[in-house]
Amino acid sequence: MTTDVGNKFVLLMTGRSGSAWVMSTLSRLQHVTTHEALFLRRARTSERTWDSDFAYPRFVETKSNSLTFRPFSVFLYLNALYNTPGAVGFKLNYAQLGQYPEVLAYLFKHRIRVVHLFRRNHLDVLISWAVKTKTGQAHLLAGQSAPDDLRVEIDTKNLLKQLAWMQKRLSIVRKLLNWCRLPHLEVAYEDLLHDRAHFGCILDFLSIKPEGGIPQSNVVKIRRGGHCDVIRNYDQVKEVLANSKFAGLLE
């Protein structure tokens, strides 16, 4: 079975990198279909999300309807997904790529384009995880209100190790993409946030020609304030980072 890869793509990222905002923005373009992380190992919940109106079944929800043996079931699943007309993409985080290595083989075989989304400030990723844990919400939809108290504690005991691992993992993924020679584009969340014109780079890479400007996402940020506003133990974090290579991550 041959898949027309034209502008079929995957958004490769780590968690809390703004991927829901990016994909929900792209989904509002004509002839573009985007999906959440389809290789999460759990079924969807009834929680309202940005893609609730057109959510595609996750792989774990469809295995009983096709071959149950991997990698064949994964290949059939992706073939069905990418047979959707127009530009089609889904989110794939680093962990899921490790759990389903055959996805990489599929991407390589069919020359699927990879948009590698990352966040330069690894501390912001940790803060975002802490906020999600506290609120129980991954993101807000337009019209929803953020909780009043978003101040969180950051684990300073393992902070440097966590930041170093995140930096190393990003380097590993970059090397993997280069080694596989997959057609890929690296995009920083901060660049997209500060200047939406950077979305144009993604559209050019995916051969998407939008009619009009870049649409507004229906996803809004939960956290609004700066580091000193949201980190409850800000002084401790500052002290730990002060003499490290990560000192510049703190506002």
Q: Name the residue type at position 157.
A: K
pLDDT of residue 67: 58
Q: Say which residues have a Cβ less than 8 Å from residue 150's Cβ, sequence separation at least 6.
A: 131, 134, 135, 222, 223, 225, 230
- Angle (CA) 12-22-192 rounded to 5° is 100
Token pair belonging to 197: 């014109």
Average pLDDT for 45-60: 88
Token pair belonging to 14: 């780590």
**Spatial contact of 90 and 37, defined as CB atoms under 8 Å apart:** yes
**Spatial contact of 75 and 107, defined as CB atoms under 8 Å apart:** no
Residue 240 Cα to chain centre, angstroms: 28
Q: Name the residue type at position 246.
A: F
> pLDDT confidence of 2, banded at 50, 70, 90?
very low
Among 68-72, 159-163, 199-203, where is mean pLDDT lowest? 68-72
Looking at the domain 8-249, which fold is it? Rossmann fold (3.40.50)
How many Å apart are CA 237 and CA 250, to the nearest integer?
8
Among 235, 92, 243, 234, smallest CA distance to 177 is for 92
pLDDT tens-place string over residues 112-161: 999 999 999 999 999 999 999 988 888 888 888 777 788 999 999 999 99
User: Per-domain residue ranges for the chain?
Assistant: 8-249
CA 172, 173, 174, 177 torsion-angle sign: positive
Among 28-37, 38-47, 72-81, 140-149, where is mean pLDDT lowest? 140-149
pLDDT at 20 over 50: yes
pLDDT of residue 211: 84
pLDDT of residue 64: 56
pLDDT at 65 over 70: no
pLDDT at 215 over 50: yes
How many Å apart are CA 139 and CA 170, to the nearest integer?
23
**Spatial contact of 42 and 59, defined as CB atoms under 8 Å apart:** no
pLDDT tens-place string over residues 162-176: 999 999 999 999 999
pLDDT at 66 over 70: no
Q: What is the pTM of this model?
A: 0.92
pLDDT of residue 3: 38
pLDDT of residue 149: 82
Rounded to whole angstroms, what are the CA distances from 167 to 45, 122, 160?
32, 8, 11
Rg, the chain, Cα only: 19
pLDDT at 5 over 90: no
DSSP H or E stretch at residue 186: strand 184-188
Among 118, 99, 102, smallest CA distance to 110 is for 102
Paired residues of 87 in beta bridges:
32
pLDDT of residue 190: 96
